[in-house]
């Protein structure tokens, strides 16, 4: 047993490791069993993405791999863009539960302009990483119940042309190689002859190498599977055949494709690499694929996102800084920025108020002068009217005097005439 003890020697912390012998059985050798029990209880999650042109046999191969019939409708070749469709299934084998998600790239390679074919795929993978990151960053997170939708394995279906990879394949795989475990496979391998196949495989590997595309290599560091995995690495890309039909061979029903000249058995290693793929993908390396996804691809995404948010592990002098320190620096920076913005807004406001005030004063002055002018005009008018009235009064008075005089003189004249009679 090894115990690590931290001791303080001359003010410095040093780690000493002492090996102790126990006097009896303690029981922590059951830890692996505890782990297995817990994992079996929780069940497993595995997410596969199938990338490949419509009609290359993606859905058929998934049915063949998991020996079931996932519902799927053949997609047309007329879709305007690539859509990602994920379906989740609960499978059970013995007492092990597997939550399997199959993600299909509907319409991949069907557009005339294939420039953006990979974009939807990259976005989908990033979205799943982002969802996991957000869950991880929550204060109250529940990663145990969380349905992890990150893609663990990406089966890239290569068209069996015999000529090598298409540019779409290379571009797409290059975009994805740092985000997901890519397992290239040659689809519909029954359409390609034995000698052509070897040349085709070599050509594909050479093209991938020339373009620095990193595909998933089965791990060789675990000695229990190192030998098989190394051997299988030499067989990649696997040339596979899928089928939904069963044929009776001897007294066994087997998955096969029947042709006028013979029968291709899906699970016959002499006919194709289907068994190798199933062995490597499901039986031997599923856990490694899940681990690589978390430790390599997701870690890279997380690192990129956190550094985009301004977090880092060391400062400019290469000294370690904690999350809290960075948070506090960022907070102080943010607050000072906020203060500066507030001051700027306030100054702008004061300036605007001043301008408005000056405008108002100007219009008040204008109004005042207009009022004065009107007042003057009004007074002048009034004066003129007064004069006219006065003149009218005088004329009236004169008229009345004339009238009285006239009436009086007329009356005297009339009286004089009467006295004559
Ligand atoms: N020759 C051959 N045909 C296949 C193979 N796998 C599927 N097909 C056929 O190809 C057609 C399209 O298959 P499907 O699985 O719907 O393709 P998907 O559009 O990629 O999902 C069907 O008629 C299948 O029977 C194969 O391995 N070899
Ligand atoms: Mg399909």
What is the whole-number distance in angstroms between the Cα of residue 60 and the centre of ligand 1? 6
What is the whole-number distance in angstroms between the Cα of residue 344 and the centre of ligand 1? 65
Yes or no: say if 168 and 115 are a contact pair by the CB < 8 Å rule: no
pLDDT for res 274: 93
Q: Which ligand is nearest to the CA of 77?
A: 1
Same domain, 276 and 320: no
Q: pLDDT confidence of 421, banded at 50, 70, 90? A: very low
Express as a percent the part of the chain with pLDDT over 70.
95
What does the DSSP 8-state code read for residue 314?
A: B
Residue 156: left if φ>0, alpha if ψ -120 to 50, beta else—which one?
beta
* Rounded mean pLDDT, 133-156: 90
Ligand 1 pocket: which of 57, 155, 240, 275 to mutate (most atoms within 8 A of CB): 57
> Which range of residues forms the domain containing residue 362?
314-383
pLDDT in tens, 154-168: 999 999 988 888 888
Q: pLDDT confidence of 419, banded at 50, 70, 90? A: low
- If you take atom 6 of ligand 1, which residue's CA is the nearest one? 57
48 vs 102: CA distance, rounded Å: 5
Same domain, 230 and 335: no
Q: pLDDT confidence of 20, banded at 50, 70, 90? A: confident
Of ligand 1's listed atoms, the one at least distance from the Cα of 52 is 20
pLDDT for res 385: 95
Same domain, 209 and 322: no
Domain termination site, one of 262, 285, 309: 309
Name the helix (H) or strand (E) containing 174: helix 167-176
- If you take atom 12 of ligand 1, which residue's CA is the nearest one? 55
Same domain, 293 and 325: no
pLDDT over 60 at 143, yes or no = yes
Question: Which sign does the torsion angle of CA 164, 166, 167, 172 carry?
Answer: negative
pLDDT for res 316: 77
pLDDT in tens, 30-84: 999 999 998 888 889 999 999 999 899 999 999 999 888 887 777 777 777 788 8
Yes or no: say if 208 and 215 are a contact pair by the CB < 8 Å rule: yes
Same domain, 207 and 107: yes
Same domain, 239 and 341: no
What does the DSSP 8-state code read for residue 320?
A: B
pLDDT for res 294: 95
Least confident of 205-214, 228-237, 348-357: 228-237
Q: Which ligand is nearest to the CA of 71?
A: 2
With respect to residue 260, please indicate whether it lies within any of the assigned structural domains.
no
Same domain, 321 and 239: no
pLDDT in tens, 177-194: 999 999 999 999 999 998
What is the whole-number distance in angstroms between the Cα of residue 278 and the centre of ligand 2? 19
Domain termination site, one of 309, 337, 365: 309
- Which residues sit opposite 50 in a β-bridge? 104, 155
211 vs 165: CA distance, rounded Å: 11
84 vs 176: CA distance, rounded Å: 15
Q: pLDDT confidence of 170, banded at 50, 70, 90? A: very high
What is the whole-number distance in angstroms between the Cα of residue 83 and the centre of ligand 1? 19
pLDDT for res 417: 63
Least confident of 57-61, 103-107, 108-112, 269-273: 108-112
Same domain, 237 and 347: no
Residue 316 token pair: 């400019």
Helix, strand, or coil (residue 281): helix
Q: Which ligand is nearest to the CA of 56?
A: 1
CATH number at residue 281: 3.40.50.300
Same domain, 293 and 364: no
- If you take atom 3 of ligand 1, which residue's CA is the nearest one? 188
Same domain, 239 and 319: no
Task: Let me know how many helices (H) and strands (E) the chain has, helices first.
Answer: 10, 11
Ligand 1 pocket residues where CB is under 6 Å: 52, 54-60, 74, 188, 190-191, 241-242, 257
| Backbone angles phi and psi of 250, in degrees to 5 | 65, -120
Same domain, 290 and 323: no
- Mean pLDDT across the chain: 88
Residue 71 token pair: 């519902």
With respect to residue 414, please indicate whether it lies within any of the assigned structural domains.
no
Q: pLDDT confidence of 124, banded at 50, 70, 90? A: very high
Of ligand 1's listed atoms, the one at least distance from the Cα of 60 is 15
What is the whole-number distance in angstroms between the Cα of residue 210 and the centre of ligand 1? 30
End-to-end CA distance of the chain: 174
Quickly count: other Cβ atoms within 10 Å of residue 182's Cβ.
22
Give the count of domains, the chain: 2
- 60 or 415: whose pLDDT is higher? 60
Helix, strand, or coil (residue 340): helix
Query: Alpha carbon 91 to chain centroid distance?
Result: 29
DSSP states of 245-271:
-EEEETTEEEEEEEETTEEEETT-TTT
Of ligand 1's listed atoms, the one at least distance from the Cα of 104 is 21
Residue 328 token pair: 């506090």
What is the whole-number distance in angstroms between the Cα of residue 287 and the centre of ligand 2? 26
Yes or no: say if 84 and 120 are a contact pair by the CB < 8 Å rule: yes
Same domain, 44 and 180: yes
Report pTM: 0.76
- If you take atom 24 of ligand 1, which residue's CA is the nearest one? 57
SS3 content of the chain, % helix, strand, coil (to 5): 50, 20, 30
* Rounded mean pLDDT, 201-230: 92
Of 57, 47, 226, nearest to 154 (Cα)? 47
Q: pLDDT confidence of 418, banded at 50, 70, 90? A: low
With respect to residue 77, please indicate whether it lies within any of the assigned structural domains.
yes
With respect to residue 116, please indicate whether it lies within any of the assigned structural domains.
yes
Per-residue 3-state assignment (H helix, E strand, C coil) for 102-154: EEEEECCCCCCCCCCHHHHHHHHHHHHHHHHHHHHHCCCCCCCCCCCCCCCEE
Beta strands at 153-158 and 12-19: parallel, antiparallel or unpaired = unpaired
Token pair 């000294």: residue? 319
Token pair 């051997």: residue? 231
Q: Which ligand is nearest to the CA of 243?
A: 1
Of ligand 1's listed atoms, the one at least distance from the Cα of 50 is 20
Of 19, 21, 24, 26, nearest to 2 (Cα)? 19
197 vs 194: CA distance, rounded Å: 5
109 vs 79: CA distance, rounded Å: 10
pLDDT for res 416: 65
pLDDT over 60 at 203, yes or no = yes
With respect to residue 122, please indicate whether it lies within any of the assigned structural domains.
yes
């Amino acid at each position: 047993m090894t115990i690590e003890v931290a001791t303080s020697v001359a003010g410095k912390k040093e780690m000493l490791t002492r090996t102790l012998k126990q006097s009896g059985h303690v029981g922590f050798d059951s830890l692996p069993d505890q782990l297995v029990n817990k994992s079996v209880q929780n069940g497993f999650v595995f997410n596969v993405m199938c990338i490949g042109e419509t009609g290359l046999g993606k859905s058929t191969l998934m049915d063949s791999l998991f020996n079931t019939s996932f519902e799927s409708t053949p997609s047309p070749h007329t879709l305007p863009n690539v859509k990602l469709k994920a379906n989740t299934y609960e499978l059970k084998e013995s007492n092990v539960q597997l939550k399997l998600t199959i993600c299909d790239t509907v319409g991949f390679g069907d557009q005339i302009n294939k420039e953006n074919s990979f974009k939807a795929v990259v976005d989908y993978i990033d979205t799943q990483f982002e969802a996991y990151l957000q869950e991880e960053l929550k204060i109250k997170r529940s990663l145990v119940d969380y349905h992890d939708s990150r893609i663990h394995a990406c089966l890239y279906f290569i068209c069996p042309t015999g000529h090598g990879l298409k540019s779409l394949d290379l571009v797409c795989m290059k975009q994805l190689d740092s985000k997901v475990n890519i397992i290239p496979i040659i689809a519909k391998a029954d359409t390609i002859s034995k000698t052509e196949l070897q040349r085709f495989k070599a050509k594909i590997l050479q093209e991938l190498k020339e373009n620095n595309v990193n595909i998933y290599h089965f791990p060789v560091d675990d000695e229990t599977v190192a030998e098989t995995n190394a051997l299988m690495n030499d067989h990649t890309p696997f040339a596979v055949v899928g089928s939904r039909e069963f044929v009776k061979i001897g007294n066994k029903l087997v998955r096969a494709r029947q042709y006028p000249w013979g029968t291709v058995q899906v699970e016959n290693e002499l006919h194709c690499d289907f068994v190798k793929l199933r062995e490597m993908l499901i039986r031997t390396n599923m856990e490694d694929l899940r681990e690589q996804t978390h430790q390599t691809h997701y870690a890279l995404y997380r690192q990129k996102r956190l550094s985009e948010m301004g977090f880092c592990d060391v400062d400019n002098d290469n000294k370690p800084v904690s999350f809290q320190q960075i948070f506090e620096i960022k907070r102080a920076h943010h607050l000072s920025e906020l203060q500066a913005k507030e001051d700027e807004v306030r100054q702008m406001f004061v300036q605007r108020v001043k301008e408005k005030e000056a405008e108002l004063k100007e219009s008040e002055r204008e109004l005042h002068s207009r009022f004065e002018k009107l007042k003057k005009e009004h007074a002048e008018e009034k004066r003129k009217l007064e004069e006219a009235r006065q003149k009218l009064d005088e004329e009236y008075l004169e008229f009345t005097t004339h009238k009285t005089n006239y009436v009086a003189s007329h009356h005297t004249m009339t009286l004089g005439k009467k006295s004559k009679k």
